[in-house]
């Protein structure tokens, strides 16, 4: 609504139609707007609050990168899909003595890749938060071969990059109004090629793509969605607006949209998922990192 594409004949232009949206919401008598989505959605929610609309947000993103939230709706299901893929790749990898890569989504956060690697028993996990050294990856694969393990499973987050390189961008889309959206993807092919060249082992990459985003939600996700929905309604009945419902340290609570948006202050101009946004990424002191290392998973460093 802040950057809406309008087509007039052969001409396309982007306009801020948020005032019309606000007018319609008020005229239709809505007491509260519930927004369900990731950091981009919740930034738009914050922007609407500044225009006088009562908003309550519910975090939903498979990337699990919404600030102030332990877990967003959709993440558990995406992990399940990735783990199932890893389980299936194990069969081919072991039977044919190959290295099998799985490229997963997540943009600039490695939660999905890390949890899928841990749950799926992967040997290597490359995430955006830890620029990888390909030589460390090769050393792990060769170490396994010396121990009689002639196959390896590597999980790569789409936002991962080497310590000497940059994030691989599949394409760039101009959304108009100064908003540029980068579509990540392709790092799996890059890593697969390097591994095959440096080890001589046949290496194949599988990109899950949008299969991670749809389908049947897991039971934990259904329960989490119900919890968030009830909490959001409780907040609305209390008259507590302009907040995001959060699950923090096992407890349902809420935080202001300003805490979620972070430094992404300009109204309607910049989407979430940028350096200015307050997205949640994997900290090097996060216990998941310790778990992965303790299980012998190479993180490329």
Q: Which residues of 34-72 are buried (b: 16+ CB within 10 A; e: fewer)?
A: bbbbbbbbbbbbbbbbebebbbbbbbbbbbbbbbbbbbb
CA distance 88 to 93: 9
Residue 198 neighbours by CB distance under 10 Å: 15
Rg, Å, the chain Cα set: 21
**39, 47, 63, 80: which is the annotated catalytic residue?**
63
Three-class SS of 100-161: EEEEECCCCCCHHHHHHHHHHCCCEEECCCCCECHHHHHHHHHHHHHCCCCCEEEEEECCCC
Paired tokens of 230: 């009830």
Location of structure tokens 């069969």: 91
Question: Is 63 one of the annotated active-site residues of the chain?
Answer: yes
Give the residue numbers annotated as catalytic, written as ranges.
Answer: 63
């Amino acid at each position: 609504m802040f950057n809406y594409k309008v087509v007039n004949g052969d001409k396309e232009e982007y306009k801020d139609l948020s005032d019309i949206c606000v007018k319609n919401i008020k005229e239709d008598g809505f007491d509260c707007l519930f927004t369900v989505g990731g950091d981009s959605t919740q930034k738009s929610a914050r922007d609407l609050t500044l225009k006088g609309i009562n908003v309550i947000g519910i975090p939903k993103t498979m990337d699990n990168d919404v600030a102030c939230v332990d877990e967003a709706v959709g993440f558990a299901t995406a992990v399940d899909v990735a783990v199932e893929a890893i389980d299936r790749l194990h069969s081919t990898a072991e039977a044919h003595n190959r290295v099998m890569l799985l490229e997963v989504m997540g943009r600039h956060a490695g939660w999905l890749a890390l949890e899928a690697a841990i749950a799926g028993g992967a040997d290597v996990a490359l995430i955006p938060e830890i620029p990888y050294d390909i030589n460390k990856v090769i050393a792990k694969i060769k170490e396994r071969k010396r121990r009689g393990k002639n196959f390896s499973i590597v999980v790569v987050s789409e936002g991962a990059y080497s310590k000497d390189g940059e994030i691989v961008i599949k394409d760039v889309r101009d959304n108009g109004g100064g908003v540029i959206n980068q579509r990540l993807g392709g790092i799996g092919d890059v890593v697969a090629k390097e591994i095959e060249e440096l080890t001589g082992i046949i290496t194949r990459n599988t990109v899950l793509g949008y299969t991670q985003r749809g389908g049947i939600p897991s039971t934990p996700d259904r329960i989490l969605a119900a919890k968030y929905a009830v909490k959001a309604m409780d907040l609305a009945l209390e008259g507590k607006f302009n907040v995001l419902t959060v699950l923090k340290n096992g407890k349902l609570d809420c935080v202001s949209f300003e805490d979620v948006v972070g430094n992404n202050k300009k109204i309607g101009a910049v989407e979430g998922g940028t350096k200015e946004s307050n997205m949640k990424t994997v900290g090097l002191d996060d216990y998941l990192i310790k778990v992965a290392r303790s299980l012998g998973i190479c993180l490329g460093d």
